[in-house]
Amino acid sequence: MKSINIRLSNVNVSLENFSLNCIEKEVINLRQEIFEKIIKDIFASIEKLAIKTIRCTCGNLPVKNGKEKRTICTIGGKVTFMRSRMICKTCGANYYPLDDAIGMPSGIKHSVRTTEALLDLATDLPYAKTSRYVKKLASIKGKCPDNT
């Protein structure tokens, strides 16, 4: 089984306010940072592999053509990351190897699990309430602000 080793740096926690409300808020923010770091490290490893094996549908090898920022909403929160863009010099086709590898085509904003959770909530609640509750619980919104 393939695996990667992810190192988490030291975590610095402010102890200026001892109220549970402040501690909870700080730890939730740290959880989000750590979650995003782990996802980004995993994505970087997957992208490295995907770039090595990508082939254009015309049969030629695409070449790197810069990087592009992308934001997706996962069940653990919003994740913003850089991904490589590649182009086939023969036919002009563009590729995002990471998008293909993780099964998140360009333009899709939510993971499948997130979409399912949002649909479950929206089935029982009005959209505005669903958005408000999800934001409180998972730091995500019905719509990702960076995906315009």
Residues near Zn ion (CB under 5 A): 56, 58, 60, 88, 90-91, 93
Closest separation in Å from C-beta 48 to Zn ion: 21
Closest separation in Å from C-beta 88 to Zn ion: 3
The answer to whether 77 and 36 are in contact (CB under 8 A) is yes
Q: Which is nearer to Zn ion, 17 or 60 (CB)?
A: 60
Among left, alpha and beta (phi > 0; psi -120 to 50; other), residue 30 is alpha
Closest separation in Å from C-beta 52 to Zn ion: 17
Q: Which is nearer to Zn ion, 87 or 125 (CB)?
A: 87
What whole-number distance in Å separates Cα of residue 71 and Cα of residue 36? 11
Q: Which is nearer to Zn ion, 30 or 58 (CB)?
A: 58
The gap from C-alpha 54 to its chain's centroid, in whole angstroms, comes to: 21
